[in-house]
Amino acid sequence: MHEPSHPNRRTTLAWLMALAGASSAASCGGSSSEAPAPSGNTPAPTPPAAGPITATTFASGLDSPWGMAFLPDGRILVTLKGGSMVILSANGSSTTPVTGVPAVNSSGQGGLLDVALDPDFSTTPWVYFSYSENGTGGSGTAVARAQLSGTTLQNLEVIFRQSPKVSGDGHFGSRLVFRSDKTLFITLGERQQGSPAQDLSKTLGKVVRINRDGSTPADNPNLGAGALPGIWSYGHRNPQGAALHPTTGELWISEHGPQGGDEINIARAGQNYGWPNVSYGCNYGDSYPGTDNSSCRIGGGTHEPTYVEPLTYWVPVSIAPAGIAFYTGSLMPEWQGNLFVTALAGQALWRLTLTGNTVAARETVALPELATRLRDVRQGLDGALYVLTDGSGGSLLRIAR
């Protein structure tokens, strides 16, 4: 894979200006090269939606929010890194604590992390959440589920524990995504250990797929003797974003690189994504001339043929990608099918335009409210995009017309 060009700088404003220019030419009479007017059998082109896209504060005062899930009635479950879960009212005006959350280790990058609703939540109100858990040897990512009754989590059971637990407080992952067959994907960081991402006897640096009760699906990839059950793909560093492609149903993930080399990948069954043997990033402290980091890329950078090439990557500086989401709504039709990527270090929301599985262009969304550390993005029930900002004074932003 060739190194991607610099991010596409075109914005919605530029698109509107171009449209205005075309309108001006038409008002002056046009020319013989002008396209003919639509015939009676040809539908007229759909006019662009009126009004600018804006970002407004939907809720504020959230203490280091990490993940969110939209309840069927429009309220929003939000996890707070320190170990709390809250429910935002459907209009964002009030916040109610949820009781019954287990103890978490919130040091470093740990804490209460992602949250997802059971595919059959309306009849079996299970809520699934990931968190960093203490235990023998240190800590590790765990996933539990509990039934939401009012504002209380009941009948809690741990359905997955990363193995082994290790010392340190970084690279826990962890996003939760339900597949269409109601199995659960869990993304897991390699806990800053490096080589265990290639070790199939450990679930560090892996994507795991389990059933809702924690058992292993019979059609998971067979990775040979000694491989732990549940492993779907491996060679991952710290995947903190995950979303299903709305057409193919495949799992797309964002991964933190080291010094540069952040990636977007499609996590496919049994595939190896190369960490820590190869990366388009460099080891921390490595130097390079200007913006060309090719001289210090880990393992030479190129992944193929031994490992899976990323769909796109960021060099030479990391943006620290976090939550991702595909947009399928109608409020912003020009964004349909685009992939949105939140960035922590990069302090931006990236918009990736796709042609099939190819990243055709990428740019940051040019709204000043988004120029901050962003933790997660989801499409709401109303067709807007909702973005969580990171940190002790966190907010939930709503992006729409």
**Which pLDDT belongs to residue 22?**
35
> What are the pLDDT digits (tens) for 135-169?
999 999 999 999 999 999 999 999 999 999 999 99
Q: Do the beta carbons of residue 64 and residue 72 sit within 8 Å?
A: no
Is domain 51-400 annotated with CATH 2.120.10.30? yes
Residues 6+ apart with CB under 8 A from 309: 1, 302, 303
**Which pLDDT belongs to residue 207?**
98
**Which pLDDT belongs to residue 49?**
52
pLDDT band at 42 (very low <50, low <70, confident <90, very high): very low
Q: What is the pTM of this model?
A: 0.87
Whole-angstrom Cα Rg for the chain: 22
Round to whole Å and give the CA distance between 367 and 390.
Answer: 17
**Which pLDDT belongs to residue 3?**
39
- Token pair recorded at residue 166: 């290790």
Q: Phi first, then psi: what are they for 299, rounded to 5°?
A: 65, 15
Round to whole Å and give the CA distance between 7 and 271.
Answer: 28
**Which pLDDT belongs to residue 39?**
34
Res 195 pLDDT > 50: yes
CA angle 77, 82, 83 (to 5 degrees): 55
- Please state, for a pLDDT cut of 90, what percent of the chain lies above it: 87
Residues recognised as catalytic: 171
**Which pLDDT belongs to residue 12?**
38
Round to whole Å and give the CA distance between 392 and 389.
Answer: 9
Amino acid at site 355: T
Res 41 pLDDT > 60: no
Count of alpha carbons within 13 angstroms of residue 279, beta-carbon side: 27
Average pLDDT (56-85) is: 98
CA angle 235, 237, 243 (to 5 degrees): 90
- Please state, for a pLDDT cut of 70, what percent of the chain lies above it: 88
pLDDT band at 50 (very low <50, low <70, confident <90, very high): confident
Average pLDDT (91-105) is: 97
**Which pLDDT belongs to residue 16?**
34
Res 14 pLDDT > 60: no
Round to whole Å and give the CA distance between 272 and 233.
Answer: 6
The sign of the dihedral angle between the CA atoms of 233, 163, 243, 55 is: negative
Q: Average model confidence (pLDDT) for the chain? A: 90
How many other CB atoms are there within 10 angstroms of residue 154's CB atom?
Answer: 12
- Name beta bridge partners: 69: 77
pLDDT band at 277 (very low <50, low <70, confident <90, very high): very high
Res 251 pLDDT > 50: yes
- Token pair recorded at residue 228: 């732990």
**Which pLDDT belongs to residue 161?**
98
Domains of the chain, residue spans: 51-400
